[in-house]
């Protein structure tokens, strides 16, 4: 069973702090990794994608990938209350179709003013 | 219209009803997906269509029947559902290019089976 694992949280951080969200995956052949943000009652929104080992930065967000450790993380700098949401980690599923995604259960983030 | 749109946004149906969910993507993508999201569970892939051809049926019960008439439209036909089928049904699309599979979701249909 190919799985993506995340701590469900909630992760609580004060406003202005760095939020660190972590994810591990079991399928060694996965090549593509994604972070989605999902507000309560809304659909997932893609915020970061990463395909190579190392860091990828986009504004306040930094995704980190370590394929040897099968580990993906998302850092949110200068966290804002509006960042409070569930963050879903996903990897390519390597299914027959080749292009679907495996999702983790998500980590709930709460940024307190 | 932009992105991926789903209708209806909310649906309440009885176990003997037949209903359909609709999804339309305006992104020029060639792949479309149905996912199910239940409380406390990861998003579950149900069906994949690539260039209108179904390439995956993830062991979904036959009371769920997908239809993809063209690369922009996707339907999910529902028949004799069970209360445990109540969930958020999400449609997504992506452009299938080797090395990247960024998927974009519609707003979802919140389904309640009574």
pLDDT digits (tens, 9 = 90+) for B24-44: 999 999 889 999 999 888 899
List, for chain A, all residue ranges whose pLDDT scores fall below the cut of 70: 1, 94-99
Residues 31-70 of A with CB under 8 A from B: 31-32, 34, 36, 42-46, 49, 51
B103–A46 CB contact, under 8 Å: yes
The minimum CA-CA distance between B57 and chain A, rounded to whole Å, is 10
- Residue-level pLDDT at B12: 96
- Residue-level pLDDT at B101: 74
Report pLDDT digits (tens) over A27-42.
888 889 999 999 998 9
Strands B109-113 and B53-57, by their bridges, are unpaired
How buried is residue A27: exposed, middle or buried, by Cβ count under 10 Å (0-12/13-18/19+)? Answer: middle
Residue B99 has pLDDT above 80, yes or no: no
Contacts of B107 in chain A (CB under 8 A): 42-43
Nearest to B48 among A45, A51, A100 (CB): A100
Give which of A100, A106, A107, A108 to mutate to test B binding, by max B Cβ within 10 Å. A100
Nearest to B101 among A44, A99, A103 (CB): A99
d(CA A47, CA A34): 8
How buried is residue A30: exposed, middle or buried, by Cβ count under 10 Å (0-12/13-18/19+)? Answer: buried
For residue B96, name the pLDDT band (cuts at 50, 70, 90): confident
- Residue-level pLDDT at A80: 97
Residue B7 has pLDDT above 60, yes or no: yes
How buried is residue B16: exposed, middle or buried, by Cβ count under 10 Å (0-12/13-18/19+)? Answer: exposed
User: What share of chain B has pLDDT > 90, as a percent?
Assistant: 72
């Amino acid at each position: 069973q190919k799985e993506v694992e995340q701590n469900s949280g909630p992760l609580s951080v004060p406003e202005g702090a760095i939020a660190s969200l972590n994810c591990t995956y079991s399928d060694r052949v996965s090549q593509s990794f994604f972070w989605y943000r999902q507000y309560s009652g809304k659909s997932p929104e893609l915020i970061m994608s990463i395909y190579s080992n190392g860091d990828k930065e986009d504004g306040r967000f930094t995704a980190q990938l370590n394929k040897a450790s099968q580990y993906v993380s998302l850092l949110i700098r200068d966290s804002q209350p509006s960042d409070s949401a569930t963050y879903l980690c996903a990897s390519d599923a390597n299914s027959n179709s080749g292009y679907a995604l495996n999702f983790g259960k998500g980590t709930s983030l709460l940024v307190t003013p | 219209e932009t992105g991926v749109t789903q209708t209806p946004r909310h649906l309440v149906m009885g176990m003997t009803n037949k209903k359909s969910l609709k999804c339309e993507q305006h992104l020029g993508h060639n792949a479309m997906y149905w996912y199910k999201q239940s409380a406390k569970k990861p998003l579950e892939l149900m069906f994949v269509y690539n260039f209108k051809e179904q390439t995956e049926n993830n062991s979904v019960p036959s009371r769920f029947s997908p239809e993809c008439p063209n690369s922009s439209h996707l339907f999910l036909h529902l028949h004799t559902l069970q209360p445990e089928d109540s969930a958020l049904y999400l449609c997504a699309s992506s452009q299938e290019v080797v090395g990247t599979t960024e998927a974009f979701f519609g707003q979802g249909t919140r389904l309640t089976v009574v």
